[in-house]
Amino acid sequence: MARYAWLVTKDHINHDEQWNREGTMGPRSITPEQRQMLEAGHGSLWKTWDDDDILYYEGRIVGDFDGHEPLDDFAKPDAGAVKIKVEDNDTLPPVADTDAARGPQDSQSGVDP
């Protein structure tokens, strides 16, 4: 069981229906309750950008999270995004600046198609 779950609500870079990521949820271990919460519109809003400040994805996240999960689990490996902002918080530092401070990452990230 995941302690958090996220949903992509808007894909700003993949306009082709085949590659569009809207509706993608993660990580793989989300619970049915977390899925229902996201589908019902609950959660904190998040956005991700690349290093040129181009907006890539928007979504929502629920549960016990630190704010980097949608970036680490999805947006960075999928499209190379490096920044994330969650709801009304300030933009968090790029991943490269935070990896050392956070230590080794859990290898259980994943994406449900």
The residues that bridge with 7 in the sheet, in sequence order, are: 25, 60
Spell out the domain ranges in the chain.
Answer: 4-99
| pTM over 0.85, yes/no | no
43 Cβ neighbours under 8 A, 6+ residues apart: 6, 7, 37, 60, 61, 62
Q: What is the pLDDT along the chain (113 residues), one digit of tens a residue?
A: 889 999 999 999 988 888 899 999 999 999 999 999 999 999 999 999 999 999 999 999 999 999 899 999 999 999 999 999 998 544 444 444 334 333 333 333 344 44
Asked if residues 78 and 21 have their Cβ atoms less than 8 Å apart, the reply is yes
Q: Tell which residue, 74, 20, 19, has the closest CA to residue 46.
A: 74
Between CA 81 and CA 76 the distance in angstroms is 5
The residues that bridge with 48 in the sheet, in sequence order, are: 57, 84
